[in-house]
Structure 1
Amino acid sequence: MAVLAIDIGGTKCAVALTDASGDILTSEVAPTPSGGDAETLWRALWSLIETTVGAEPVDGVGVGCGGPMTWPDGVVAPLNMPGWRDGFPVVARLRERFPGVPVRIHNDAIALAAAEHWKGAGQGVDDMIGMVVSTGVGGGLILGGRLINGGTGNAGHIGHIVVDPAGPPCGCGGNGCLEAVARGPALAAWAVEQGWVPGTPAAGPVNPELSEREAAALYRENARATGRQLATDAAAGDQIAVAAMNRAGWALGLAIASATHLCDVDLVTIGGGLSQSGPLLFEPLEETLRTHARMGFSSRVRVVPAALGQEAGLIGAAALIVGGDRYWSP
């Protein structure tokens, strides 16, 4: 059995052939065209698929893609892909090219949760949340050993739990969502407002009393003000960067405590770029989680780094095809 697995992102797209066990047989990765219109993006993706598949027949096509989307129909409108933001029928296009086989799609964070449950840190766990903390914050929910979809395919969207009602505005239109606080770009912007100078670790807070407009301008002009650089500077001892990581851990701990009380899970896995910060993120997360997860049943929850790395999106896409009704039940 051969499965075509596709992971569509705003920065890069990855395509692989996998076997029925989710093992990757061959794969290709390419940058997502910047500024391309809808058809330019499709042609780039299709070229990558042709390079990967060649003349090989496939038994199914699984896709993970950023949202929002209409699910399970697969008209996608990713916020980080302007060319498709008005809606692009990626599933319909793939069905034209691969008639007679199942073509299935889910949000990329949900696919990552399925991957971690199937072959990653969540193996053998029936009840878990899989999270991604990177440019955005997303997640997927596994209960009773099955992926939970919800009414619109968005169950597990932990990034929009409100952790601070008076907090920063979120792209969803609300305020103080976990994503608005803990995603990499938001953390970097917050740190710049506090006086962080990327790549120049400071011994303590600078407190430059920047206006909101001045801080925003500085952030836009400084290409090094990224979540990755923030984590690097925190590891080097920059106190503002450390404070930003503490802020992320605090927000994540609050959200996970709330989600655990609601869903009664045993495990939370966290992937994405920020998760690679290690104790800088996980120690404040654990402290906040244990402060707020005080019910007996919620105190058992464990939070661990995701295990599958860059291949998780492709493995999760394959799971939609070969995982049976554990991961696909629209």
Structure 2
Amino acid sequence: MNLGIEIGGTKLQLVTSDSTGQIVERFRYTVDPAQGAEGILAQIEATLRQLNEPPQRVGIGFGGPLDWKTGRIATSHQIGGWAGIDLADWLRERIPGVVVRIDNDANVAALGEASRGVATGFNNVFYITLGSGIGGGLVQNGRVYHGATPGEAEIGHLWLIPPDESGSPGQTIEQTISGWAVDQQIRDLLPQLPNDSVLKTLVEQAHKANAIGGEARFLHPAYEASDPVAKMLIEQIGSVAALGLSHVVHLFHPDAIVLGGGLSLIGEPLRAAVRQALPQFVMKAFHPVPVLLLAKLGEDAVPVGALQLAHT
């Protein structure tokens, strides 16, 4: 039996698999940031005690930079207490003889989609996660591409507007089209929207129910109702994502690009927006641009990738 673990800023998932790699059992928990790394480790330890047998191999997708060779965490941008923890050794102490593999969660999600998801059959796959943050992972011939530690493929940290001597902080892709950034943009636009705006109606109904945050989830239903502001925002997200992905194309020229993360649930309108914008940012010699695909595994991308990682 093998174990796949996803450690994120908002959720913790553990899944077991059979000999074919299929998920047999799953455990999902909401992360409490106030409990920090200690709380997550305690939950993992408690779950290990619930398993019918100790796993032989463990794969982990962690939400932050790390040393994939040693299993030591560099930091987490969302949960305190992780810096310097040797997560691989921590697991070996609790499961004697276990083989542990660990990598950044975007890399692991990329591996999941390339091996058992929408990009199966492509040799070179770039995965971009459009979620609370923006990350990326490159899989070449079934293996994650690694640069120098503690990370690589951090597409969200590409500058759209660089900082300058006047004191302007500049703006990155993550600061522009991450889920949190889009949520804030929608909230800022609300007072300017007409009363018959579908997007405004959906967001205000949620706010009246004290559901503040996650406003980006209303872009798809508003778009389907022909809301012009939703259409504009999706096109803007697509254009910024395409600009970032053009650098990936010029540097690595993957066969396929997979759009994942929460914003990818906007679906075909977002994929089409990226597909329309990408060619203008890519040199003609690299046309046609890579195939653009919507992630298929959803919230299983990291757990499935973690199980695959355990075998590498």
Q: State the TM-score, normalized to the length of structure 1.
A: 0.81
Partner of 1:195: 190
Summarize the Cα distance change of 1:239–1:163 in structure 2 as closer, same or farther, 3 Å threshold. same
Question: Shift of residue 196 of structure 1?
Answer: 5.9
Checking the alignment, whether the CA contact within 8 Å between 1:190 and 1:244 is kept in structure 2 is: no
Summarize the Cα distance change of 1:265–1:225 in structure 2 as closer, same or farther, 3 Å threshold. closer
Summarize the Cα distance change of 1:201–1:313 in structure 2 as closer, same or farther, 3 Å threshold. farther
Checking the alignment, whether the CA contact within 8 Å between 1:8 and 1:63 is kept in structure 2 is: yes
Task: Measure the CA separation in 2 of the matches of 1:21 and 1:78.
Answer: 32
1:88-131 Cα offsets, whole Å, 9 max, x none, are 33222111011222111101110000111111111111111012
Give the partner amino acid of 2:12.
Answer: C
Summarize the Cα distance change of 1:252–1:37 in structure 2 as closer, same or farther, 3 Å threshold. closer
Partner of 1:105: 102
Does residue 165 (structure 1) correspond to residue 162 (structure 2)? The answer is yes
Task: Measure the CA separation in 2 of the matches of 1:320 and 1:204.
Answer: 40
Partner of 1:315: 304
Task: Measure the CA separation in 2 of the matches of 1:298 and 1:260.
Answer: 10
Checking the alignment, whether the CA contact within 8 Å between 2:109 and 2:301 is kept in structure 1 is: yes
Task: Measure the CA separation in 2 of the matches of 1:38 and 1:59.
Answer: 24
Partner of 1:176: 171
Partner of 1:88: 85
Aligned-pair identity (%)? 27
Aligned residues: 299
Partner of 1:276: 265
Summarize the Cα distance change of 1:36–1:293 in structure 2 as closer, same or farther, 3 Å threshold. same
Question: Shift of residue 85 of structure 1?
Answer: 4.6
- Which residue of 243, 256, 261 maps to 2:250? 261
Task: Measure the CA separation in 2 of the matches of 1:266 and 1:74.
Answer: 30
Task: Indicate the larger mover: 65-74 or 270-279.
Answer: 65-74
Task: Measure the CA separation in 2 of the matches of 1:299 and 1:166.
Answer: 33
Question: Shift of residue 143 of structure 1?
Answer: 2.6
1:242-261 matches, within 5 Å, as 242-261=231-250
Checking the alignment, whether the CA contact within 8 Å between 1:91 and 1:105 is kept in structure 2 is: yes
1:206-225 matches, within 5 Å, as 223-224=212-213
Q: State the TM-score, normalized to the length of structure 2.
A: 0.86
Partner of 1:126: 123
Task: Measure the CA separation in 1 of the matches of 2:230 and 2:275.
Answer: 19
Task: Indicate the larger mover: 34-43 or 226-235.
Answer: 226-235
SS in 2 for 1:247: helix
1:192-212 Cα offsets, whole Å, 9 max, x none, are 2233689x762799xxxxxxx
Give the partner amino acid of 1:307.
Answer: K
Checking the alignment, whether the CA contact within 8 Å between 1:72 and 1:153 is kept in structure 2 is: no
Task: Measure the CA separation in 2 of the matches of 1:20 and 1:233.
Answer: 44
- Which residue of 280, 283, 290 maps to 1:294? 283
Task: Measure the CA separation in 1 of the matches of 2:69 and 2:217.
Answer: 34
Unaligned 5+ runs, structure 2: 201-206
Checking the alignment, whether the CA contact within 8 Å between 2:186 and 2:216 is kept in structure 1 is: no
Checking the alignment, whether the CA contact within 8 Å between 2:258 and 2:295 is kept in structure 1 is: yes
CA RMSD of aligned residues (A): 2.8
Unaligned 5+ runs, structure 1: 168-172, 206-217, 325-330
SS in 1 for 2:254: coil
Partner of 1:10: 9
Checking the alignment, whether the CA contact within 8 Å between 1:3 and 1:61 is kept in structure 2 is: yes
- Which residue of 106, 109, 112 maps to 1:115? 112
Task: Measure the CA separation in 2 of the matches of 1:160 and 1:104.
Answer: 26
Checking the alignment, whether the CA contact within 8 Å between 2:16 and 2:23 is kept in structure 1 is: yes
